[in-house]
Chains A and B, each alone.
Chain A
Amino acid sequence: DAGVIQSPRHEVTEMGQEVTLRCKPISGHNSLFWYRQTMMRGLELLIYFNNNVPIDDSGMPEDRFSAKMPNASFSTLKIQPSEPRDSAVYFCASSSPGGRAVFDEQFFGPGTRLTVL
């Protein structure tokens, strides 16, 4: 079974450019999460979706960041305009809440390493 798929795996861009990160969750999972990992701040939840609907975007750093989930099998995280401080590894994760448990564990993608020059 394919896990969470993220693209690109590496992205190098210049300050001011638009960056789009992509994620395909595990088939059948209905929750999707975007995280950012930096040395200074560790792993932070940016936003998550249930059934394609954004539930909590309180972790999105500022208006330059936006995320969409147009369907159950695809999500994007966009940064416009990008800045050097956005350099980080961005992870997408998915899970399948339901049943007796309120939620299930989150399965992470391989991450996208973003470098903004």
Chain B
Amino acid sequence: AQKVTQAQTEISVVEKEDVTLDCVYETRDTTYYLFWYKQPPSGELVFLIRRNSFDEQNEISGRYSWNFQKSTSSFNFTITASQVVDSAVYFCALSEASQGAQKLVFGQGTRLTINP
């Protein structure tokens, strides 16, 4: 069965610090997809990134970067030089090809607070 674990329930840092959000997943599929979503205080869910299981390249987008390691079943998210606007709940999610690939299973989320 698919499962996503975000062990960090809450993280609080001071602005401009770097912060890494951990995501560990479980799946028996060889083809699967990993996602990160952001939920700011306004409540909507904002898509950040998608990764498939065959692409282990790390990705950088501005201050955001993602480290995908199949060997440790992890898909961690790093924010460099954090800003107050980064304060949100961040969700990691997984879908499996055998389940139709559209069925997202979310982790419990990490609440990130960036203090000025």
> A residues engaging B (CB < 8 A)?
31, 33, 42-45, 48, 50, 55-56, 89, 91, 93, 95, 97, 102-103, 105-111, 113
Decide: A103 and B101 in contact? CB cutoff 8 A: yes
Which partner residue on chain A sits nearest B101 by CB separation? A102
Decide: A106 and B43 in contact? CB cutoff 8 A: no
Please tell me which one of the listed residues A44, A89, A107, A111 contacts residue B47 in the complex, with CB atoms under 8 A apart: A107
From B95, B97, B102, name the one whose CB has the most chain A CB atoms within 10 angstroms: B102
Please tell me which one of the listed residues A48, A109, A111 contacts residue B102 in the complex, with CB atoms under 8 A apart: A48
CB contacts under 8 Å to A, within B13-50, are 33, 35, 37, 42-47, 50
Q: Is B103 an interface residue (CB 8 A)?
A: yes
CB contacts under 8 Å to A, within B57-101, are 91, 95, 97, 100-101
Decide: B102 and A89 in contact? CB cutoff 8 A: no
Decide: A42 and B109 in contact? CB cutoff 8 A: yes
Decide: B97 and A102 in contact? CB cutoff 8 A: yes
**Subset of 22 A-B contacts with CB under 8 Å:** A31-B102, A42-B106, A42-B109, A43-B91, A43-B109, A45-B105, A48-B102, A55-B100, A89-B43, A95-B102, A97-B102, A102-B97, A102-B102, A103-B33, A103-B101, A106-B47, A106-B102, A106-B104, A108-B47, A109-B44, A110-B42, A110-B43
Which partner residue on chain B sits nearest A113 by CB separation? B43
> B residues engaging A (CB < 8 A)?
33, 35, 37, 42-47, 50, 91, 95, 97, 100-109
- How many A-B residue pairs have C-beta atoms within 8 angstroms? Tell me: 53
B6 to chain A, nearest CB (A): 10
For A106, the chain B residues whose CB sits under 8 A away are 47, 102, 104
Please tell me which one of the listed residues B44, B101, B104, B108 contacts residue A111 in the complex, with CB atoms under 8 A apart: B44
Decide: A56 and B103 in contact? CB cutoff 8 A: yes
For B105, the chain A residues whose CB sits under 8 A away are 45
Decide: A105 and B43 in contact? CB cutoff 8 A: no
Please tell me which one of the listed residues B43, B44, B102 contacts residue A33 in the complex, with CB atoms under 8 A apart: B102
Please tell me which one of the listed residues B44, B47, B91, B97 contacts residue A105 in the complex, with CB atoms under 8 A apart: B47
Report the bound CA distance from A107 to B102 in whole Å: 12
